[in-house]
Amino acid sequence: MPQVTLLGPGIAQLCATGFALALLLLSPFAAPAQQHFNGAKALEYARQYVSIGPRWPTSQNHQKAEAFLRSHFQHDQLEEDVFTASTPIGPVAMRNFIVRFPGKKDGAIVLATHYETNYWLKNINFVGANDGGSTTGLLLAIADQLRAQTAGGKKLDGYSVWLLFDDGEESIGSNWTDSDSLYGTRHLAAKWARDGTLSKIKAFILADMIGDKDLDIQRDSQSTAWLVDVVRQAVKKFGYERYFFKQPMNGLSDDHIPFVQRGVPSIDIIDLNYGPNNSYHHTDKDTMDKISAHSLTIDGDVFMETIRLIGQR
Ligand code: ZN
């Protein structure tokens, strides 16, 4: 769909002729001759996925969410990492999904999102359109690109890319603690430390709540400095500076932390400012009408460019 409201800098020169204007009206962004990520596709994936409904651990819908991912990646290199989490409600079966796209260079870049919703919000119809849903859609659309680039046994130009859909990011109880949160990534980081996989990971890039129509990604203080710089470089290429790193974010607990703690270069791409005074966060207001193809296009552009830049290091 044309999105004529999203015209960026440089527009004045381009409007010199009616022809140029017509082109602009037909294209989602002002920047000419630059391929953009398919945020509309990511949004559509998010819509399909979120339509499953609330999907907290132990629920029927969680199994539907698992089936959705399994079906989507049935022809890819999919690993299901099953484990039992020790939680305030007792042992809970959880499952991370890892999809691997091979690269020419030795080593891997992990792109991660959690995919479940909060157990403690099970009574309010919390569907997590932005929180878990939007970034699941984003990674599904990124997978489409990586799949095309690796079709017929080809390899990606840089490092392998592993997409991680992790379980149990959210706390089970309403009170977030270090022991009641990040179940999937804590489990996986420990497992990958034991089996040596962790040493292969060049970067761990987390996507969280960045489908928000009003995109303002904070600068997470615990993210690795060089990786922040690489993302900044990617942001600059597209002229997306106004959406990124305007505000600092200190002491945030999120899925990158188990990897940060083990010395893996990591970054959290998060917009924890969702609705007026963050009033949509963890409420029944976190619905599809609050997220946009435009934001997912920005995310996808920056993620794909970041992967490319890391591959050149
Ligand atoms: Zn959340």
User: Is the pLDDT score of 10 beyond 90?
Assistant: no
Q: What is the pLDDT of residues 130-162, one digit of tens each?
A: 999 999 999 999 999 999 999 999 999 999 999
For residue 282, the CA-to-ligand 1 centroid distance in Å is 6
Indicate the pLDDT class of residue 27, thresholds 50, 70 and 90.
low
For residue 113, the CA-to-ligand 1 centroid distance in Å is 11
pTM for the whole structure: 0.89
Helix axes 39-50, 293-312, angle to 10 degrees: 120
Q: What is the pLDDT of residues 43-65, one digit of tens each?
A: 999 999 999 999 999 999 999 99
For residue 131, the CA-to-ligand 1 centroid distance in Å is 5
For residue 175, the CA-to-ligand 1 centroid distance in Å is 12
pLDDT for 60 equals 98
Q: How far apart are CA 112 and CA 161, in angstroms?
A: 11
* Mean pLDDT across the chain: 92
Q: What is the pLDDT of residues 227-275, one digit of tens each?
A: 999 999 999 999 999 999 999 999 999 999 999 999 999 999 999 999 9
For residue 180, the CA-to-ligand 1 centroid distance in Å is 13
For residue 10, the CA-to-ligand 1 centroid distance in Å is 37
For residue 272, the CA-to-ligand 1 centroid distance in Å is 9
Domains, the chain, ordered by start? 1-34 (no CATH), 37-312 (3.40.630.10)
Q: Which residues surround ligand 1, an ion (CB under 5 A)?
A: 131
For residue 22, the CA-to-ligand 1 centroid distance in Å is 41
User: Do 290 and 129 form a contact (C-beta atoms < 8 A)?
Assistant: yes
For residue 209, the CA-to-ligand 1 centroid distance in Å is 8
pLDDT for 3 equals 32
For residue 167, the CA-to-ligand 1 centroid distance in Å is 12
* Nearest Cα to Cα of residue 217 among 305, 296, 309: 296
Which regions of 102-222 does DSSP assign to beta strands (E)? 103-114, 156-166, 201-208, 217-220
Pairing relationship of beta strands 90-101 and 156-166 according to DSSP bridges: antiparallel
Per the model's pLDDT, the better-predicted residue between 16 and 59 turns out to be: 59
For residue 313, the CA-to-ligand 1 centroid distance in Å is 33
For residue 154, the CA-to-ligand 1 centroid distance in Å is 37
The residues, any chain, with a CB within 8 Å of residue 237's CB and separated by 6 or more, are 305
For residue 254, the CA-to-ligand 1 centroid distance in Å is 9
